[in-house]
Amino acid sequence: MSVEPYGVLFTNGDNDTFPLWYLQEVEGIRRDVTVIVTSYLNTEWYAKQLKRITAPCDPDMSPSEDWSRIICQRPYTAENTSAAYVTDPTSVPSKIALVMATSIKEPTKSIIPLTDEQIDQVSQNYVRVEGDRSVTLGNINTILRDGDSLVPWEQYALALIGEVIDERPIYFSSSGNAAVSLGLTDYLVRQGLAYRLHNGPLEGDEGAEGVLRMLPSPYEAVIGQWVDMPRTHTLLTEVFVHRKGIPDEWMHWPDLATIGIPNYYAWGYLALTQAALQTSNEDLMEQYRERAEAWSRLGTG
């Protein structure tokens, strides 16, 4: 739910990917979001699959006509969720409104702008950067450093972002270093549990719509450089609410393999704690800090 309609979300591995696929395919939640595992994106079959499932549906085609596979871009719907992305909060009186500045528009093209032959070629090649190179992605300028080698997923990702950043929101999960690999960390804004890629420099936008630059702190690596305070507050305090007592009534996390998942929530609350400190809101700061500590205890015990 951190991702706006028709978003692309880069993830890093099993623990931040398989739960999302479960929610989409079993619970029917937010099937419009394209979840991309960077390790899989090193393969040609996965890039071709993404090309196909994010293409607009033909007029005579329904995205739900075959329950066993994804055949084209699936529509945004707020079904099976407690919240809805809208421009007018009064339009969803029974749901938590996640207010957007612009109306929701269906994408007009696939996220992969390559032919199948080009996809095959990329999957078989590492590209060595000769001399520092500036790459333009929408209004973003990222620098590829001399001597770096671009693995296939990075090549696909750069092509993808450059192709669709003007019509789809791009996100990175709050774990891993995919955005670092692409030189995009200065353009990331935390929204809930994910980082949104801002289409252009953030300097000068501080304070706009509640976006706040984080002051240097020991937690910068996990909370990010920028936070959308209103959106993150709504997501963490109203949307991501567990009705069975997580984290307070759980003495330990039952699955050692996924014990880091509670920390994603702790990091979100740490970002809000820092934001409240910077805006001199002591009451909110204490509330956020207490929640951050509760989630952190569950994620480390």
pLDDT in tens, 137-171: 999 999 999 999 999 999 999 999 999 999 999 99
Closest CA to 291 of 248, 260, 252, 255: 248
CA 270, CA 255: separation in Å to the nearest integer?
A: 24
Residue that is written with structure tokens 């207010």 in the block? 99
Helix axes 261-278, 282-300, angle to 10 degrees: 160
Closest CA to 128 of 142, 148, 145, 143: 148
The mean pLDDT value for 34-48 works out to 96
> What dihedral do alpha carbons 230, 236, 237, 240 form, nearest 10°?
140
The mean pLDDT value for 274-293 works out to 97
Judge whether residue 298 has pLDDT over 70: yes
For residue 10, what is the enclosing H or E element?
strand 8-11
> What percentage of the chain exceeds 90 in pLDDT?
82
Q: What per-residue confidence (pLDDT) applies to 206?
A: 63
Helices (H), the chain: 18-25, 44-53, 116-123, 152-164, 178-181, 220-223, 229-234, 261-278, 282-300
The mean pLDDT value for 44-51 works out to 98
Q: How many CB atoms lie within 10 A of CB 256?
A: 8
DSSP 3-state of 9: strand
Q: What per-residue confidence (pLDDT) applies to 13?
A: 77
For 257, phi and psi rounded to 5 degrees? -65, -25
Judge whether residue 105 has pLDDT over 80: yes
Which residues, in sequence order, are CB contacts of 217 under 8 Å at separation 6+?
223, 274
CA 259, CA 226: separation in Å to the nearest integer?
A: 26
| The amino acid at 299 | G
Judge whether residue 127 has pLDDT over 80: yes
Closest CA to 159 of 32, 58, 35, 41: 41
| pLDDT tens-digit readout, 230-254 | 999 999 999 999 878 899 999 889 8
Domain ranges of the chain: 1-74+102-201, 204-223+231-301
Structure tokens that stand for 14 in this block: 């099993």
Judge whether residue 207 has pLDDT over 70: no
Q: What per-residue confidence (pLDDT) applies to 224?
A: 96
For 58, phi and psi rounded to 5 degrees? -65, 155
CA 294, CA 150: separation in Å to the nearest integer?
A: 40
DSSP 50: H
For 161, phi and psi rounded to 5 degrees? -60, -45
For residue 8, what is the enclosing H or E element?
strand 8-11
